[in-house]
Amino acid sequence: MLENVVNIVADIGGTNLRIGIAQQDGCCEALTVYQCAKYASLAEVVADFIEKEQLSGKTINACFAIACPVENDLVVMTNLPWQFSKTQLKSALGLNKLLLINDFTAIAHAIPMLSDEQKVQIGGGESVADKPISVCGPGTGLGVANLIQEQDAQQQETWLSISGEGGHVDFAPVDKQEIDILEFLLTKYQHVSYEQLLSGLGIEQIYQALASKNSSVESELTAQDVTSRALANECEVCDQALAQFCKTLGSFAGNLALTLGSFGGVYIAGGIVPRFIEYFKSSDFRQRFEEKGRMSGFNQNIPTYVITESQPGILGATAYLLQDNLQHDLQDDIQDKKEAL
């Protein structure tokens, strides 16, 4: 029976969709990348993958990580003209199981599976097994999730992701330069969240705030321009902006550690920071992470990492699906034993 069961996982973004076949060891085979704009719907993409991999007629369990709210049956994608009903999608594709999870839920579930080659530690501290883990990801926005371990009804250790909208908490400046940046952003927004600094747009806005006090530099640069000029030592204001981004990220990550007691580690995800790991290592990120007044000693013991794995969404969706399969198998075994009595 198991030979006829196939687990497929997908990481669905606004531009690309990655889909593959999850193996029991956590690896993903037949990973295929689709350009979303070329397809009218998610069902069309998945159906194409099922046909190409000759999976028709098999029992298919699926877990899709998607960058939008997934709580309701109707899923409306934020950055694509796709919307669908979960129940109708499952029926149309003939799936045995369909799990829809948020993209940051997937990234959180990837963390326990990361090897030393898939992450880089920044600063000191040592992770404690089975303790809470936090993850934040500056990218298009600022994603946040937490991961805790619990025991299910069968006394099995499982990971539970706690997500929310942590990127939208109030930005809290801690020095004069950050106060100046806040005042600049308040001319644009009624509410300034950490996402307004810790994202691609955030890098641009930090630069704009600093450039507004220096008439000799360009007032508008893309995040990529700011970063590349800073790394090449071509622009002092760009360097100040990137350095400030790292500092602010340190403060924010430190806040997550304090809030949850994240002795399992705080992880930086997203597509921005991995582009300048060496710069990040020598930045004030870790100093800011630890600078928490009377609670500085608390954070000094908590490790911080940058996720360098290129497909954390696929890795996490795989972990989530395999854990769900295991829980249901255990429940089925218990039910079978009850019926046999």
Q: Which residues are annotated as a binding site for ATP?
A: 10-15
Q: Which string of DSSP letters, residue by residue, matches 110-175?
A: HGGG--GGGEEEESS----TTS-EEEEEESSSEEEEEEEEEE-TTS-EEEEEEE--GGGSBP---S
* Distance (Å) of CA 111 to CA 75, 104, 313: 26, 11, 10
C-alpha span between 70 and 52 (Å, rounded): 27
Residue of 307, 284, 316 whose CA lies nearest to 108: 316
Q: How many CB atoms lie under 10 A from the CB of residue 237? A: 21
Residues 6+ apart with CB under 8 A from 81: none
C-alpha span between 127 and 302 (Å, rounded): 7
Specify whether the CB–CB gap between 149 and 111 falls below 8 A: no
C-alpha span between 311 and 329 (Å, rounded): 27
β-bridge partners, 89:
none
Specify whether the CB–CB gap between 261 and 132 falls below 8 A: yes
> What sections of the chain are H helices per DSSP?
42-52, 86-93, 103-110, 176-185, 200-211, 223-231, 236-260, 277-282, 285-290, 296-300, 312-340
As given in the structure block, the two tokens for residue 230 are 């800073």
C-alpha span between 85 and 154 (Å, rounded): 32
Phi, psi dihedrals of residue 212, rounded to the nearest 5°: -65, -15
C-alpha span between 205 and 107 (Å, rounded): 27
DSSP state, residue 193: B
C-alpha span between 164 and 149 (Å, rounded): 18
